[in-house]
Amino acid sequence: MTRSNDYILEARGLHKSFGSGPARVHVLRGLDLHVHRGEFLAIMGPSGCGKSTLLHVMGLMARTDEGSVCIDGADVSQLGESHQAEIRRRQIGFIFQRFNLISVLSGYDNVKLSLAIRGLGSEGVQELLQSMDVAGVAFRKPGQLSIGQQQRLAVARGIAHNPAILLADEPTGSLDSANATELLGLLSRTNQERGQTIVMITHSDEAARAASRVVHMRDGRIFEHA
């Protein structure tokens, strides 16, 4: 397959539905999306429009009914589960709305475990936490940290293995305005300083303004303009 140097992530003709018969709900309807290498893309749309479903399909956490997902030009949507899991571990990072930090582990160990799952050592973790301004609290458990500190740890965990793509699922949805602004600044710096490709879904105009490109989702499709 010819590989594109322009796109690191592509969704081509995605269809996804849930249920069957009269109760069947079509969420993605022939959706197409192209993500440029190194860009910070925001996908906007109201709650319930299918943004999270799209993110799960592109992150290889759910299979599409039809269509394909390509990473770095290679179609990965039809690979077996074990192969997809390996791609997910190696090439994709995630930031979740509620952070999903493991409560019984310190912040440092949350990041270290994320690397261990991928067969990687913990070299560089302390430097990464320092760059996120959480090195001083890294050995506290999430419940002992502020929301802002937890969010910075979640970003550190998401990028520690240098993923090709970072997917952020409504990352400001549970934050007050001050912490939301801080997180968006951190994502912008991560994009600019590390060249990290970021795809963020959001319904927030403020969050979308942090991105370098914004697309809108409605009726199961992507539109470049609202």
Q: Residue 30's pLDDT is what?
A: 95
At 148-196, the pLDDT tens digits run 899 999 999 999 999 999 999 999 888 899 999 999 999 999 999 999 9
Is beta strand 213-218 parallel, antiparallel or unpaired with respect to 197-202? unpaired
Q: Residue 99's pLDDT is what?
A: 86
Q: Residue 5's pLDDT is what?
A: 60
Q: Give the CA dihedral 14, 20, 21, 27, nearest 10 degrees.
A: -30
Domains of the chain: 7-223 (3.40.50.300)
The distance from CA 23 to its chain's CA centroid, rounded to whole angstroms, is 30
Confidence of residue 1 (pLDDT cuts 50, 70, 90): very low
At 66-119, the pLDDT tens digits run 999 999 999 999 899 999 999 999 999 999 888 899 999 999 999 999 999 898
Q: What are the backbone angles phi and psi of residue 10, rounded to the nearest 5°?
A: -135, 140
- Report the candidate in 83, 73, 51 with the shortest Cα–Cα distance to residue 164: 73
Answer positive or negative: Cα dihedral of 58, 59, 65, 70.
positive
Is beta strand 40-44 parallel, antiparallel or unpaired with respect to 66-71? unpaired
Confidence of residue 224 (pLDDT cuts 50, 70, 90): confident
- Please provide the average confidence, as pLDDT, over all residues in the chain: 91
What six digits make up the tokens of 7?
A: 């796109």
Q: pLDDT exceeding 90 applies to what percent of the chain?
A: 76
Answer positive or negative: Cα dihedral of 105, 108, 109, 113.
positive
Confidence of residue 123 (pLDDT cuts 50, 70, 90): confident
Across 56-64, average pLDDT: 95
Report yes or no: 199 and 37 within 8 Å, Cβ to Cβ.
no
Q: Residue 20's pLDDT is what?
A: 85
Report yes or no: 160 and 128 within 8 Å, Cβ to Cβ.
yes
Other beta carbons within 10 angstroms of residue 171's beta carbon come to 28
Q: Residue 79's pLDDT is what?
A: 94
At 3-54, the pLDDT tens digits run 446 899 999 999 999 988 888 899 999 999 999 999 999 999 988 888 999 9
Q: Residue 98's pLDDT is what?
A: 83
Q: Residue 225's pLDDT is what?
A: 62
- Residue 51, class by beta-carbon neighbours within 10 Å (0-12 exposed, 13-18 middle, 19+ buried)? buried
pLDDT at 129 over 90: yes
Q: Residue 31's pLDDT is what?
A: 96
CA–CA distances in Å: residue 9 to residues 100, 126, 140, 221: 24, 30, 36, 16
